[in-house]
């Protein structure tokens, strides 16, 4: 199956190949069942009616039970693959980053050298004054927080991304990382994953969140660890007065 030409975008995450494999397995099974259903219809048309209709229960219920077990197994496997990025906790050494969806932009926040995110308050949100997330300057943890409009991640290190939304539900989606998760106002939703391939990728919003939805996108840059550390240091240096 490795030689199968696959019209999905290239995968740049550690969990992606398992998801791709499962998707392909689903498609092959659906194709096989479609062919089988047509074969059965064809045989039914050609066969002579030799049996009483009342004796056909096993022809009806056994395939039905087999299909139910097959689809339940595929669904449970898919649910587990998805839950691996969502419901299991990230490792304690994961890079901590926050992403916030706002009509119509994504903001990313790095906690800085104190490794703690500063408190944000809705009443302090003022994008025109350079405080799009409403960081509270009275909280000492907020002083070194770095807010960016592009997401920069290191390769081969787990990322613990917390997702927020300020106004309406936005859909955080990176096709190359096989990630799609809603950002919901009033909730902090964690997803964790490990980028594997350096490059520049698009971050999209996949919920119709308003008139400017079409332009709600951002850039993801995945860098080798040394370059990522240098980028983070340069951001922090620029922020220090
Ligand atoms: Cu949106």
Distance 1 CA to ligand 1 centre (A): 36
User: If we measure between CA atoms, which residue out of 98, 187, 112 comes closest to residue 142?
Assistant: 112
**197 contacts 156 by C-beta, under 8 angstroms:** no
C-alpha 53 – ligand 1 centre gap (Å)? 55
Which value, in Å, is the radius of gyration of the alpha carbons in the chain?
24
Distance from Cα 209 to the centre of ligand 1, integer Å: 5
Q: Residues 46-83: pLDDT tens digits? A: 876 665 556 667 777 888 899 999 999 999 999 999 88
Task: Supply φ then ψ for residue 130, to 5 degrees.
Answer: 80, 20
Q: How many angstroms does the Cα of residue 169 sit away from the middle of ligand 1?
A: 7
In the chain, what are the domain boundaries?
A: 16-83, 95-239
At 88-134, the pLDDT tens digits run: 888 888 999 999 999 999 999 999 888 889 999 989 998 888 899 99
Q: 107 CB contacts (<8 Å, ≥6 apart)?
A: 99, 100, 132, 133, 147, 148, 149
State the CATH architecture for 95-239.
Sandwich (2.60)
Whether the CA torsion 160, 166, 169, 175 is positive or negative: it is negative
pTM of the full predicted structure? 0.83
Centre of ligand 1 to C-alpha 176, Å, is 19
Q: Give residue 36 CA to ligand 1 midpoint distance, Å.
A: 42
Give residue 43 CA to ligand 1 midpoint distance, Å.
51
Q: How far is the CA of 20 from the centre of ligand 1 (A)?
A: 26
């Amino acid at each position: 199956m490795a030689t199968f030409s696959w019209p999905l975008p290239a995968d740049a995450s550690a969990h992606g190949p398992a998801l791709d494999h499962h998707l392909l397995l689903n498609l092959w099974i659906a194709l096989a069942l479609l062919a089988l259903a047509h074969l059965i219809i064809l045989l039914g048309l050609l066969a002579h009616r030799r049996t009483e209709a009342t004796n056909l229960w096993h022809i009806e219920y056994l395939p039905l039970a087999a299909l139910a077990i097959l689809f339940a197994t595929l669904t449970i496997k898919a649910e587990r693959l998805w839950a691996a990025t969502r419901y299991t906790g990230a490792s304690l050494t994961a890079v901590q980053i926050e992403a916030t969806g706002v009509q119509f932009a994504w903001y990313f926040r790095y906690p800085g050298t104190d490794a703690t995110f500063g408190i944000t308050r809705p009443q302090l949100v003022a994008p025109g004054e350079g405080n799009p997330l409403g960081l509270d300057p009275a909280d000492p943890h907020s002083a070194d927080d770095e807010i960016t409009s592009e997401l920069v991640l290191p390769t081969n290190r787990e990322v613990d991304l917390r997702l927020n939304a300020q106004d309406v539900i936005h859909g955080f989606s990176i096709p190359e990382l096989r990630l799609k998760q809603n950002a919901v106002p009033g909730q902090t939703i964690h997803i964790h994953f490990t980028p594997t391939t350096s490059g520049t990728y698009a971050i999209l919003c996949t919920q119709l969140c308003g008139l400017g939805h079409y332009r709600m996108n951002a850039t993801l840059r995945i860098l080798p660890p040394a370059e990522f550390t240098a980028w983070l240091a340069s951001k922090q240096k620029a922020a220090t007065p």
